[in-house]
Amino acid sequence: MKKRILFVGREQPLWAEFHEHAADPDSNWTVSFAGNGKEALDVMDRLSIDAAVVDVELSGMTGVDLLDQVMRRQPRTIRMVVSDVADAQSTVKCIGRAHHHLFKPCEAATVINALNDAMRLEASLPSDTVRSLIAQMRWVPSPPSIYSKILSEMRSSDVSVDVIGSLIGQDPALTAKVLQIANSAVFGLHLQVTAPTEAVGYIGLQTARALVLLAHTFSSFDQLLGVGFSAETLWQHSLITGHFARNIVEQQKAGAEMAEQSFAAGLLHDIGKLLFAANLPGPFSQALAVARAQNLSLWEAENAVFGATHAEVGGCVLAIWGLPMPVVEAVTLHHCPSKCLSEEFGLVTAVHVANAFEHNPSAPESEFCPKELDADYIHKLGLDQRIAEWRSQCFEARGATDLHS
């Protein structure tokens, strides 16, 4: 049976494009349109809606208010909001109300992919606790303007590495980080990369996109971080975790796309720590102290102090920023992989295991079962015998080369 999608907002190219797509006999969707919130609610009184794509700028009722109404009337409806990438205020207001945030201009293919991902993963809204925590955060950076341009370029059917490289080259700090990554041991190159375009060609588009977000977030919080928290240490941990995650995917021969996404997810997996440290330094300092005093993992201490973890907060923000759902899922579940719906090796597995490896570099291989590793989850996937081999090859690949340079 076909699913029904409701578009709400002023008529625009996306609406017409999706109307043509829905007319295709092979399409999985039927389409309804409404020009404003009142018309949308009239449609919902008559029809069951599987997904609603709402422009944040509506006449009369706001897009945010309409999303609240959709939640109350048809809570199982997938909710997506469309806004300008520069509209940071609307982006923050939609946190907790929408499953996914799309930035203008967007194409029908982007919407379809987001809808399919949401249904496949049974995407759910963040918990009330996560929504409450994010609402308390003054510093939740919106993506930089370069990110929106890169995203637009990546949507193009003839995406150009040269154009993306030139965009990155406009930001000296970002250029330095991209070149640092490309020239590190992570990519095992035997030549020196000196230009952003060359670097993007080596590290891949998904990694470049993740680096733009991570470097921007670090720079946004540079003057805010304290509480005994080292941003540089976190950067190095994120880099090595991404390296290990990609290595694990490559050992499993899971494909180039998953390998690239795993590196991006590894880079971003702890971005929620930055949000906690910059916005809630007192409680985050308390969580760090509880973890040390009670010999807990930090995420366990965060649960005790905040009622939620940096993984959940980070995943929520990345979803709002429009990262691919597999990356969002890997970030959100990297401490709790058993919550993943899939019972096969995937991005969640790679990032979870890579994070455990990086946190325990000196543990004996024969006894490697740290508290960061969910042994039951690994056993359920039938991967118990792979852990030692993955770990050996990860550290062998890292070798004596300094990833920090």
Compute the half-sphere exposure of residue 51: CA atoms within 13 Å on the CB side of its CA: 24
Distances (CA, A) of 270 to 7, 267, 299, 359: 34, 8, 10, 13
pLDDT at 143: 58
Per-residue model confidence as pLDDT tens digits over 372-395:
889 999 999 999 989 989 998 888
Q: Which residues of 50-81 are buried (b: 16+ CB within 10 A; e: fewer)?
A: bbbbbbbebeebbbbebbeebbeebeebbbbb
Provide the mean pLDDT of the chain. Answer: 79
DSSP letter, residue 169: T
CA 95 to chain centroid: 14
Is 295 in contact with 253 (CB distance < 8 Å)?
Answer: no
Per-residue model confidence as pLDDT tens digits over 160-191:
778 888 887 777 667 777 776 666 655 554 55
The answer, yes or no, to whether residue 145 has pLDDT greater than 80, is no
Per-residue model confidence as pLDDT tens digits over 101-124:
777 777 777 777 777 766 655 444
Radius of gyration, alpha carbons of the chain: 21
Backbone torsion region of residue 307, taken as left when φ is above 0, otherwise alpha when ψ lies between -120 and 50, otherwise beta: left
pTM assigned to the model = 0.68
Distances (CA, A) of 51 to 6, 95, 118: 6, 17, 10
pLDDT at 405: 40
The answer, yes or no, to whether residue 242 has pLDDT greater than 70, is yes
